[in-house]
Amino acid sequence: MTPRGVQLIGAVAVPAAVLFGALALAGCGNQGELKSAGPTPTAVGPVRLWPDLPPATNPPIDYGESDTERVPGVDVPDNDVHSVDPVAVVQAEVRAHGDARSGADGLYEQTARAIGACATDRKDCPVLTPYYRDLTGNGRDELIVGIRMPDQQLGVRVYLAENGGLTRIMSTVDQVVNVELAGRDLIMRVSSAGIPGYEYRTAWSWDEQQRTMLPARDEIVRVKPPGRGTSVVPAPAFVSPSATPRPVAPPSAAPGAGRADTAPPEVSQ
């Protein structure tokens, strides 16, 4: 006598539920089976070249060492960058470093004069409309400022609010195609002189160890000519998913203006 729910098949007792499941699967054919996606390419590398070369003895340059600076005389209530006037921030830096023509504080002499006159001449003020984004991941916005300069150059500065004041965590100058915000990265697109059809793209990212924005990724990218999809944008502008960018007209300085008595600012990276 066999227990209830069990059938004898040959000399082996098999539960009815197992037998029913096997028959059901048999009726499904090959449904649900894995299918081949084709041959997989063999992984190659990385391969170290010239393995006998000795390692460098000097440490690499610390790019973040000189990129941060406390903005003098600017108070930030509740560490909220929205409460400060971006023009006043740049003016404070000009007062502290008005004669700087290179480096992180470098400005053309005529640009520095125009910044000083922004209080009475907002129309020709070279400080652009600011943008705000949490670039450091601290849960608060940072202040992003653009400064127009001769020859379509653009100065970009980023400020972090901390301890009731402002710390500048990025400053660079270049003749840019445009500037973009992507997540917590600030991406600068620069026309690649001497390589038609290409542009440089540098992604500046927050480095927690150095507590500054560093050019974390730099690449040369081919761009499509006008009329064939994405093209190079001739005017510098900030691009933000949270605000509609306004095109920025190039400076109306006469040819050669700002270069007779001073050299152009160096790019700070």
Tens-place pLDDT, residues 55-102: 878 766 655 445 689 999 999 999 999 999 999 999 999 999 888 888
Average pLDDT of the segment spanning 109-128: 92
> CB under 8 Å to 245, separation ≥6 — which residues?
237, 238, 239
Q: What is the spatial distance between Cα 57 and Cα 204, in angstroms, rounded to a whole number?
A: 28
Amino acid of residue 176: V
pLDDT tens digits, 174-197: 999 999 999 999 999 998 767 888
Domain boundaries, the chain: 69-239
Residue 168: HSE in the Cβ half-sphere, 13 Å Cα cutoff:
21
Residues 223, 226, 229, 234, CA torsion sign = positive
What tokens were used for 248? 């920025």
pTM for this predicted structure: 0.66
